[in-house]
Amino acid sequence: MRPCSTVMHLLLRCMRGCGRHSRSRMPRRLRQPVSYIKLIFKSLYFNSLTNSEVVLDCILEPVFWTVEVVTRWFGMVFVFLVVALTSSVVFIAYFCLLPLVLQTYSLGWMMWHICYGNWILVMIVFHYYKATNTPPGYPPKMKNEVPFVSFCKKCVIPKPARSHHCGICKTCILKMDHHCPWLNNCVGHYNHRYFFSFCLFLTLGCMYCSISGRNLFIDAYNAIDQFRHLEAEKQGVPVTGIGLLIGIVPSEGVAGKGVQEISQPPYTYNDRMFHKSVIYMWVLTSTVSVALGALTLWHAVLITRGETSIERHINNKEAKRLAKRGKVYRNPFSYGKLNNWKVFFGVEKRSHWLTRVLLPSGHTPYGDGLTWDIYPLKKDMMPV
């Protein structure tokens, strides 16, 4: 650290000397940026705790600031995209595919598609609305007796356990997982369940559309390809001799030579739009089911371990630090694999797996997000 501090001192002396001679000549609008640069240099050697990570954070600070500003300003755009894309798939399902189901499927399959499709749709809409409109939870800003583990330098308030500062929302969040641009909201203590349920049911809905619409997609693609070749052949009729190469002999000229034209059914605008809609729905739902399915699986692993996305990174660093000392790190907020899911979904009895997990439910999560003594003895207290 001494060579680094010496270099910083020399740079500051040069800047200080230049500043004394040019202070009178420097425009006022440049004085503040120059002072800010000096402050950055001073912060790099302010104490002995400065390391490569601190320097890297200072260098990448403009990048972080740009990402935060873009995410903040385009949050409503992302929400609009989610609503628009979901609505387009629902429109195609109801006005293009549902009439086909009613005409071709048996009564049993018809009831299955109608019941399952509408149940998935209700769960998606409910959880997305709750995830976007439910505040994630904020630590109290007034003095209180709640125990805290650190102090937020930006909010200037004590931070309870599992709380972190969000640069986009510009406040601390209880049990913060991440800031989701597709929700235009932070995922925290009070809306974490809504976010995961939305991802889960949207993945199931996209997989349902992708699997059930596979044959329709193949038929639609083949139909468009077939009629595209037919339209290309209408520009010239293949005949023998030179006409085969040129393709300029009209159909009337060869009708008397024994060439029989096969009349094709007309390919209307409605047929074209139907086939393109089926292809669009299948490609969109297949892509989302793969991408969102991977994200949902990752969050399921975190819930099983009793962690959030931020805590996963922190716990890994802590585990490596203790491993060097020959110790094993244990997550203090994990209550066992099954109990973690019960706490997450708020399951207190067997019927809650139906009423609180498989059906829309607006119940609040366990605790207030400030303390985490739900299972003091780490035992299975729920006979579920």
pLDDT digits (tens, 9 = 90+) for 34-87: 888 877 776 665 555 566 666 676 777 777 777 777 777 788 999 999 999 999
pLDDT at 236 over 80: no
Percent of the chain surpassing pLDDT 70 = 77
Instruction: Look up the pTM and report it.
Output: 0.75
DSSP 326-379: T-----TT---HHHHHHHHHT--STTHIIIIIIS---PPPSS-SS---SSTT--
Q: Token digits for 345?
A: 């979904």
Segment 112-116 mean pLDDT: 93
In tens, the pLDDT along 264-289 reads: 566 688 888 999 999 999 999 999 99
In tens, the pLDDT along 283-329 reads: 999 999 999 999 999 999 999 999 999 999 999 999 999 999 999 99
In tens, the pLDDT along 365-375 reads: 988 888 887 65
Q: Token digits for 361?
A: 């439910």
228 neighbors 276 (Cβ within 8 angstroms): no
- What Rg, from alpha-carbon coordinates, does the chain have? 31
pLDDT at 245 over 50: no
Write the single-letter amino acid at 311.
E
Percent of the chain surpassing pLDDT 90 = 46
Where residue 263 falls among pLDDT bands split at 50, 70, 90? low
Q: What is the rounded distance in angstroms from the CA atom of residue 200 to the CA atom of residue 204?
A: 6
Q: Is 180 an active-site residue?
A: yes
Instruction: Give the pLDDT confidence score for residue 10 in this predicted structure.
Output: 55
Instruction: Give the pLDDT confidence score for residue 363 in this predicted structure.
Output: 94
The one catalytic residue among 172, 180, 199, 209: 180
Q: 157-159 and 178-180 as β-strands: parallel, antiparallel, unpaired?
A: unpaired
Where residue 254 falls among pLDDT bands split at 50, 70, 90? very low
Q: Token digits for 66?
A: 């740009």
